[in-house]
Chain A
Amino acid sequence: MRQIVGLIFLLVLVALLVWGVLVMRDFGDPPSRMDDYMIANAQQETGSNNVVAGVLLDYRGLDTLGEVSVLFTAVTAVLLLFRTLTHQEEGG
Chain B
Amino acid sequence: MEQVVLNFPFVAAVLLVAIAFYIIVFKRNLIKVVMGVAIMSSGINLFLVSLGYRTGGVAPIYTDVPEGPMVLPVPQALTLTNIVIGVAVLALMLTLVVHIYRHTGDIDAKKSRILKG
Residues of A whose CB lies within 8 Å of any CB of B are 3, 6, 10, 13-14, 17-18, 20-22, 24, 26-30, 32, 34-35, 38-39, 42-43, 49-52, 55-56, 60, 63-64, 66-67, 70-71, 73-75, 77-78, 81-82, 85
Answer whether A74 and B74 are a contact pair too, CB < 8 Å, given A21-B14, A29-B55. no
Q: B42 to nearest A CB, angstroms? A: 16
A27 to B26, CA, bound (A): 33
Annotate B1-20 by CB proximity to A: 1 below 8 A, 0 otherwise: 00110111111001101100
Give the A-binding residues of B (Cβ under 8 A).
Answer: 3-4, 6-11, 14-15, 17-18, 21-22, 25-26, 50-55, 60-63, 70, 72-74, 76-78, 80-81, 84-85, 87-89, 91-92, 95-96, 98-99, 102
B contact residues around A32 at 8 Å (CB): 72
- By secondary structure, the A interface counts as helix
Q: Which residues of B contact A18 (CB under 8 A)?
A: 11, 14-15
A71 to B90, CA, bound (A): 11
B45 to chain A, nearest CB (A): 14
CB contacts (< 8 Å) of A35 on chain B: these are: 52, 72-74
